[in-house]
Amino acid sequence: MTFLWGTATAAYQIEGAVAEDGRGPSIWDTFSHEPGKTRDGHTGDIACDHYHRWPEDVELMAAAGLNAYRFSIAWPRIQPTGTGPANVKGLDFYDRLVDGLCAKGIAPAATLFHWDLPQALEDGGGWMNRDVSEQFADYAAIVVERLGDRVQQWITLNEPVIHMIFGYALGMHAPGRALMLDALPVAHHQLLGHGLAVQALRAGGAAQVLITNNCTPVWPASDSAEDQAAADAYDTLHNRLFNDPVLLGTYPDLTAFGVEPHFIRDGDLKAISAPLDGFGLNYYTPTRVTGPNADSVMPFELADITGYPKTEFGWPVVPDGLRELLVSLKSRYGTALPPVYITENGCSYAAIDDQFRIDYLDAHFKAVETAQSEGVDVRGYFIWSLLDNFEWAEGYHQRFGLIHVDFDTQTRTPRSSYHWLRTHLSPAGG
């Protein structure tokens, strides 16, 4: 089986063309245009102008020797208000992109939801509203009908944990709600949306269906019982809350958080745990935690990780964390864990001559090889990201691309890491 080597992107972060061909507004359009929500007021209005420049971008992928590409579909291009008939021009765009990829031998991996909910659905409560789960499945059915003959992998959701925590619990991302633990239904409704979308995708003849979860190794700051319990609580919230229902059909014990998951109905977990063809894993860095203090609102506090290099985003570089995570997923879920695809990993580093990124990627590739030798079935690796892009609340200030983008001219300049990757993928230069 050919190992998939790709890059990953997301619609709102690269496409621009926010008012073109009938696209409706998403929560990120609204949020980024609200003063003070993103650094320097940056928005995705133009982003990388990928909506128009995608042929050049596909060309760059092909020239690097990549054989897969993970992108996301903007729900508000397909259904401008989140429900109702398909906007054909929106589908046409992804149809052209998918054809362009296939023509270059690049396998399309399409994510259905990478955080850009149609604003009209947010106006009805967003993912706090259970109806959105079914609406999501309706949208999935529309898309698979048009693209299902060529898309090799379907990824239902991107990082439901980050969307819940940053978007609904803390308000640092769209839709900007700060509900703290009251945001918990957002976990369940996204997961239910995943389960119902799996059914719709299967009915539409989808080749492979996955979910992408962001997972982190959780390190207690010490051996103390308090720190261990805190690590356990954080692991439950960040990892198990999203992995257990999908892979085991159960929710972890949430008593440390003092909440009862009253929003779960009969049959939900059965839908959520429908078998998958792969598990998408996004890994960036471990999380270190200590026990709560007198002012803590959660049963843990986050602590700094020292002694490792840091990316320009300030995230510690811990390649062995990826091996640790893969091995722990395998030991926790055993045969319930389908083949794993690293659907995101990468670093923020701006220089064109980015030896830092080369070292970062090289070390993370090796960590995957080690995990494979320890028995974990990993079948693909998507680097975040192809291009510098709109990094959510950070705007254009964090540059994750293998390719530098000049946002004034839209000029693409491959970084040293891009050239290194090309040699890594085709050592003989073929």
Q: Where on the chain is the footprint of ligand FCB (CB under 6 A)?
A: 10, 13, 158-159, 162, 214, 282, 344, 384, 391-392, 400
**Closer to ligand FCB at the Cβ: 87 or 389?**
389
Helix axes 355-373, 319-333, angle to 10 degrees: 30
Give 227 or 344: the residue with its C-beta nearer to ligand FCB.
344
Instruction: Find the catalytic residue in 344, 374, 391, 394.
Output: 344
Min CB(315)–ligand FCB separation in Å: 9
CB of 309 vs ligand FCB, minimal distance in Å: 17
Check if the beta carbon of residue 348 is closer than 8 Å to that of residue 399: yes
The nearest distance, CB 16 to ligand FCB, in angstroms, is 16
C-alpha distance across the termini of the chain, in Å: 20
* Residue 264 main-chain phi, psi, to 5 deg: -85, 130
DSSP state of 238: I
What is the C-alpha separation between 45 and 137, in angstroms, rounded?
Answer: 27
271 vs 322, which CB is nearer to ligand FCB? 322
CB of 32 to ligand FCB, least distance (A): 14
Which residue blocks in 83-224 are alpha helix, DSSP H?
88-103, 119-123, 131-147, 160-162, 184-203
Kindly tell me which of 9 and 290 has the beta carbon lying closer to ligand FCB: 9
Determine whether 59 is an active site residue. Answer: no
What Å distances lie between residue 330 and 243, 375, 411, CA to CA?
A: 12, 8, 42
To 10 degrees, what angle do helices 416-425 and 355-373 make? 30
Alpha helix segments (H runs only) across 148-236: 160-162, 184-203, 225-235
Tell me which of 159, 260, 369, 391 is the catalytic residue: 159
Active site residue 56: no
Shortest reach from residue 212's CB to ligand FCB, in Å: 8
Residues with Cβ within 8 Å of 257's Cβ and at least 6 positions away in sequence, in order, are 181, 233, 236, 237, 298, 299
Nearer to ligand FCB, 87 or 348 (CB): 348
Active site residues: 159, 344
